[in-house]
Amino acid sequence: MRMMKIGLLAMIAVAFIAQDAAAQRGTIGREDSKPVRRTYRNPLLPETNLADPHVLRFNGVYYLYATTHTKGYDVYTSDNLVDWVLRGSVYSDPRGGIWAPDVFFDSKGAGKFYLYYTSDMPGRPPGGRNKVIGVAMSNSPLGPFVDQGVLCEIAIDAHLFQDDDKKLYLYYVDLTDGFKIMVQSMSDPLTKEGEPQEVIRPTDSWEKMAGEVTEGPFMVKHRGTYYLMYSGSGANSPDYAIGYATSDSPLGPFTKHPGNPIVKRGNKVLGPGHHCVVEGPDNKLWMVYHQKWTEERSFRRFLAVDPIAFDHEGVIVASVSRDTLEPAPLFRPRLASPKSR
């Protein structure tokens, strides 16, 4: 009996020692709490003129990059896709006209973060079609990103997609003869491979409501099918909208969905577009995009988020909202770690 008591006391002592060590490592008290169901209302970050959002999910944190002051990019972070905190500048560029960021984490390569930017073309008047796409690199999603050079000229709106086989494809808009969405195979995040090819151009009436425009490409793969999502019509118009095309290959050919646009103006929503799709803390898909403040032709826009999903036939179903309370993504907030002893 005495030996049993001694053994029990030893086990308790070991447990306390282990608990104390875990506390000093910050691992106790960090388990997820119960899921929290909240509501939210678009617009988000209403004090900021924000467009063309891209969200990267990394280690359970969401990083938001967007078109704002056009001198570079700032980053916001969130744990729930609704509440965003400004974390400062991640990239600045003296060329100006900095638009439409896209950030890719190369988890299977060098472990770096790559920022694909649009900027004005040096030596030419700003604006119009005098734009270039380049790439910058960082060790952290918080930057700073260091420019690695230009990838495409007379082009905007880059998006890098990695397939299941780890091959990389850069989608972007070529402006040399209208707004054509192109695909470029990449041997790595910095290096083009082969020649680009056209996959989408404006052909449908909704893409021509205010200029002939197809832009803001974003690729989603679902059950072996490639869904190339994009925005159509002029971005300064309340008729800006979102559609998609499908293919059996990331290189196309793509067939436009007959139900396009899947997101358009209505119920106070104006000019919804230039979006990304990200998995939320509830493991469901969410669309992060911008809307226009008014019907006037302008580039005054704000951040919005709404759910998106695939129905049983593989059709993308999306809903958009403004000034209404909506169910927020279900998430589990992290509990604070106890102070070290």
Q: Is 15 exposed, middle or buried (0-12, 13-18, 19+ CB in 10 A)?
A: exposed
Assigned domain for 130 exists: yes
- On whether residue 185 sits in a domain, the answer given is yes
CATH number of the domain bearing residue 145: 2.115.10.20
Range of the domain at 284: 51-327
Residue 243 lies in a domain: yes
Q: Note whether residue 64 is domain-resident.
A: yes
Domain total of the chain: 1
Residue 46 lies in a domain: no
In this structure, is residue 171 part of a structural domain? yes
Tell me how far CA of residue 239 lies from CA of 39, 129, 170, 266, in angstroms: 28, 21, 27, 10
Q: Are strands 99-105 and 285-292 parallel, antiparallel or unpaired?
A: unpaired
Spatial separation of the C-alpha atoms in residues 312 and 74, rounded to whole Å: 38
pLDDT one digit per residue (tens) for the chain, 341 residues:
444 333 433 443 333 333 333 333 333 233 345 667 699 999 999 999 999 999 999 999 999 999 999 999 999 999 999 999 999 999 999 999 999 999 999 998 889 999 999 999 988 887 778 999 999 999 999 999 999 999 999 999 999 999 999 999 999 999 999 999 999 999 999 999 999 999 999 999 999 999 999 999 999 999 999 999 999 999 999 999 999 999 999 999 999 999 999 999 999 999 999 999 999 999 999 999 999 999 999 999 999 999 999 999 999 999 999 999 999 998 777 644 434 32
User: What pTM, to 2 d.p., does this model score?
Assistant: 0.88
Please report whether residue 22 resides in a domain.
no
